[in-house]
Structure 1
Amino acid sequence: MKQVVTAPDRSASGAKRARSRTTAQNPGHAVDYSDPAFSEAVIRWQKQHGRHALPWQNTHDAYRIWLSEIMLQQTQVAAVIPYYRRFLERFPNVQALAEAPSEDVMAHWSGLGYYTRARNLHRCAQRVVADHGGVFPSDPGLLAELPGIGRSTAAAITAFAYGTRAAILDGNVKRVFCRVFGIDGFPGAKPVEDQLWLRAVALLPEQDIGAYTQGLMDLGATLCTRGKPACERCPLAGQCVARATGRTHLLPTRKPKKAVPEKSITMLVIADRTHVLLERRPDSGIWGGLLSLPETDVLNPDDVGATEREERLAPAAAHYGSPRSFDRLQPFTHVFTHYKLHVWPYHVRLDSRREFAGEDSRVWYPVDRLADAALPAPVKKLLLAIFGEPDLLS
C-alpha cells in the first residue's frame, strides 16, 4: 500500500520550500519551525515512559484505531476503555458496524456523551464499506472527508495504522506546543491555530511517526496536564518557554468566558408496573437519536401545588392511559458544553396503558431492560433509581 507523505522533506530544497510557504502565510516573518531534537526527545521518552498497554495499542487495525480516536474525542481514557471493549464485542469490524441498526449503535454508545460522534461513527462505517471496500484510506486527506473525522484525527489514524507522516493537533498537543514554544493567544482562534499547524507539520520526524504521535498525546495527557504539569519529568523541560518564564499556569491562553445559558424542562415518567413511556429524540439537537422521556410545559415544583400539578398533567397523561397519581421527583441539573439544563421530573403512575398503533417515535419500554436502553446518562440514572425501588412501583 502506497504511503502518502503529507509533511515536507528535510532536504535542503525541502526546507527551502517549507520556509517559502511559511513566508507566504506570514509575510515578513520567515520562520523555520523544524527542530529534529524536539521529535527525538519525544520519541525517546515515549518508548521508555509512554503508554503502551491501552486496548487499542499494539495493532495496525485501522478500524480499532479509528474507533478509539473517535471515542477519545472530548472523553478521558478511563471512561472510554469499558465502552471500547463492549463496542468491539458487538461490532468487531467495520462491516458489522455498517450493517447494524442505528438503535443498536446508539444503545452501545449510551452514557459516553457527545452523541453526534455515534451518529457520525455509524455513517462513516457505511461510507468506508460503500466507497472504500471496507478499507480505511491511508491518505489522511481522503480519510478527513468521512463523517466525524477531521484533519488531526485522520492524521492519528493513518500514522498508527499505516505509518503515514501526517501532523496531529488535538487539545493535548496544542497545550504542549503553547507551553514549550511560549505561544500566546487562545489556541482555538484561527490565527493561533494556523501557526500551531505550521509548527506541527515542520516538527514531524522522518522515522518513528507512530511513537512520535503517541508521544505527543501521552505528554499532554500524563505530564503536560492542564492543572498540575509534571515539568520535572518532562523530556522537553529544558526548552520549555512557559517553564522558564513561570507561565505554565497561563499557557495555553484560556478561551474568553461567556455567560453560560440555562434552560429548564419538565420530564414525565409515565409508567405502569412493567413499562415506561419513552420517545425517540430527533437526530439533531441534544441527545439526538436516543430514547428519552416525554417533555411538557415547565412545571416548577416550587410554584405549583399537588392540585395544580394534577390539573396540568392529567390531560397529557390521559393520552397514554389511565393515570392514578402524579408525584414530583428530585430535580437535577445536567451540564452540556454550551449550557446548563435544569430538569424537573414527575412520576405519573398508570393503572393501565394505551397501546400505540402505527407509531415508531414512542414506545412502551420494559422497565427490566432499562439498563441496556439507548438513553441519555442522566435519564437512565433517573429511571434506574425509580424502578430499582420496589415500593415506587406499588
Structure 2
Amino acid sequence: MTVSNFAARLLAWHRKHGRHDLPWQHPRTPYRVWLSEIMLQQTQVQTVIPYFENFLRQFPHLPDLAAAPAEAVMKAWAGLGYYSRARNLHKAAQHCMAYHAGALPDDFDGLLALPGIGRSTAGAILSQAHGSRHAIVDGNVKRVLTRHFAITGDAGSSAVDKRLWQLAESLLPETHLADYSQAIMDLGATVCSSRNPKCTACPIAQDCQALAAGTVLNAPGRKPAKSVPERETYVVLARCRTGAILLEQRPDHGIWGGLYSLPEADDSGRAVAIAHRYITAKKPATVSLPAFKHLFSHFRLNIHPVLLDGCTAKSHIEDNDRMRWATPDDLSKLGLPAPIQKLLKRLP
C-alpha cells in the first residue's frame, strides 16, 4: 500500500460519506477551527455543536473572546466540563491580542506556545484552516492507525505515541490537507468506532491488519482499567427570601475551576458554618436534601446538599472574598457546574 493510495481512498470516501455540514466548516477560519478542536477534546460532536454555536454568538471573533469577562466565558462553557479548556482559550485569545495583532499565529511553533494548544490541535488548525501539511493524532486518528497497522501496546505510552505520529506524518497527501484531516477523523468517529466498528463500510478495510487478525476491538491498547474511586462532599444551599443564593467562586485549578458553585466542605457541619459567616439575624434551620452522584473521568463524586432557607444576607462581603450572594438574574449569567444547576432547578 502506498501513501497516496491510503490518502486517496480516504479522500474518495470522504467526498461521498464524510461530514460536510459541521458549523466550524463554514467558514473554516483559524478561530472557528481552534474553538471546535478545543471543545472536541474529550467531548463528542453532537454535544459540542450547540455549545459551539452559542459560544460564537457571544464571541464571534477572537478579539471578542479576549475582551470578554472571565465570568462570561465560563458561563458560556458551563456544562462542557474540563473547564481548564475555557480558561486556556481565554488566556490564549488575550495573548494573541497582545503579541499577534489579534489573530492566531499561522506557524506551528507560534500555535504550540499558546495555552491549551498541543501538537495535534496545532496541526488541526494549520491543516484545516490553512491547508498546510501537518498531521493530527487525536483519539479518532489513534483508533484508525492502531487498528489498520496492528499497533499493540498502550496507546498512551510514549513509544506508541511516537510510532503513531511517524505514521500519521508519512501518510499525509501532498494536497487536499484540510479534507484529508477531516476524512481520517470522520472515519474514526463514524466507521472505525470504538465499540461497534462498521468494517464493511470502511474504505481501507482491505488491508486493515487488525481486521485480518480478528483483533479490531483490541485496539487501541490501554492500561488495565482501575476501579473508580468515590469521594464525598457536602454543599450548603443558603437561600434568602428574595431568592438570592450564596455562591463561592472556585479556584482556577481543580474541579470546576473558575466557576461559581455552592460552598462545600467535607461534612455538613462545616458547610453550614461557612454559610453562617454570611448570614445575619436568626440562623435558619438546616434541611438535608437527597444526595446525588456526579461522575468525573477519574472519580465519582457523591454530593450531599444541605438547605438553609429564608436566610438574611449580610450587606457586605470583603472584596477579596470569593463568596457572593447571587440574585436569580445573576444566576442566569454566571457559570455554574452542571450538577449544581440541576440542583437549583429542582428547588421549589
Cα deviation for residue 342 of structure 1 reads: 1.2
TM-score by length of 2: 0.95
Match of 1:318 among 255, 265, 276: 276
The answer to whether the 8 A contact 1:281-1:292 is kept is yes
In structure 1, give the amino acid aligned to 2:76: H
- Matching of residue 280 in structure 1 with residue 249 in structure 2: yes
- Matching of residue 382 in structure 1 with residue 340 in structure 2: no
Alignment of 1:150-161 (within 5 A): 150-161=118-129
Match of 1:169 among 125, 137, 143: 137
Cross-structure match for 1:289: 258
- Matching of residue 94 in structure 1 with residue 62 in structure 2: yes
Cross-structure match for 2:324: 363
Q: Deviations over 1:286-343 (max 9, x none)?
A: 11100000113324xxxxxxxxx7xx77654432223322111111111112212111
Cross-structure match for 1:242: 210
RMSD between aligned residues: 1.6
In structure 1, give the amino acid aligned to 2:277: H
SS at match of 1:324: coil
Q: 1-side partners of 2:67 and 2:26: how far apart? A: 27
Cross-structure match for 2:28: 60
The answer to whether the 8 A contact 1:94-1:125 is kept is yes
Cross-structure match for 2:95: 127
Cross-structure match for 1:373: 334
In structure 1, give the amino acid aligned to 2:156: G
SS at match of 1:343: strand
Q: 2-side partners of 1:372 and 1:350: how far apart? A: 23
Q: Deviations over 1:151-195 (max 9, x none)?
A: 001001111111110010001000000111111111111101111
Q: 2-side partners of 1:35 and 1:298: how far apart? A: 60
Cross-structure match for 1:75: 43
Unaligned 5+ runs, structure 1 = 1-32, 300-308, 390-394
SS at match of 2:285: strand
Cα deviation for residue 280 of structure 1 reads: 0.3
Q: Deviations over 1:329-386 (max 9, x none)?
A: 1111111122121111111113422123333511111135534421011111111111
The answer to whether the 8 A contact 1:43-1:211 is kept is yes
Which 10-residue stretch deviates more, 159-168 or 337-346? 337-346
Cross-structure match for 1:12: none
- Matching of residue 353 in structure 1 with residue 322 in structure 2: no
Q: Kindly tell me the number of residue pairs found equivalent between the two proteins.
A: 344
In structure 2, give the amino acid aligned to 1:292: S
Distance 1:316 1:357, change over 3 A: closer
In structure 2, give the amino acid aligned to 1:287: W
Distance 1:211 1:297, change over 3 A: closer
Cross-structure match for 1:337: 297
In structure 2, give the amino acid aligned to 1:116: S
The answer to whether the 8 A contact 1:371-1:380 is kept is no
- Matching of residue 207 in structure 1 with residue 175 in structure 2: yes
SS at match of 1:288: coil
The answer to whether the 8 A contact 2:263-2:271 is kept is no
SS at match of 1:277: strand
SS at match of 1:103: helix
Unaligned 5+ runs, structure 2 = none
The answer to whether the 8 A contact 1:138-1:164 is kept is no
Cross-structure match for 2:109: 141
Match of 1:195 among 159, 163, 168: 163
SS at match of 2:99: helix
Q: 1-side partners of 2:231 and 2:28: how far apart? A: 45
Q: Deviations over 1:105-147 (max 9, x none)?
A: 1111111110000000000101111111112222122211111
Which 10-residue stretch deviates more, 351-360 or 34-43? 351-360
Q: Deviations over 1:227-247 (max 9, x none)?
A: 000111110110111111111
Which 10-residue stretch deviates more, 134-143 or 289-298? 134-143
Which 10-residue stretch deviates more, 222-231 or 341-350? 341-350
**Over alpha carbons, which structure has the higher Rg?**
1
Cα deviation for residue 262 of structure 1 reads: 2.1
Distance 1:141 1:115, change over 3 A: same
TM-score by length of 1: 0.84
In structure 2, give the amino acid aligned to 1:318: H
Which 10-residue stretch deviates more, 74-83 or 253-262? 253-262
Cross-structure match for 1:255: 223
Q: 2-side partners of 1:93 and 1:166: how far apart? A: 24
Distance 1:313 1:226, change over 3 A: closer
The answer to whether the 8 A contact 1:371-1:384 is kept is no
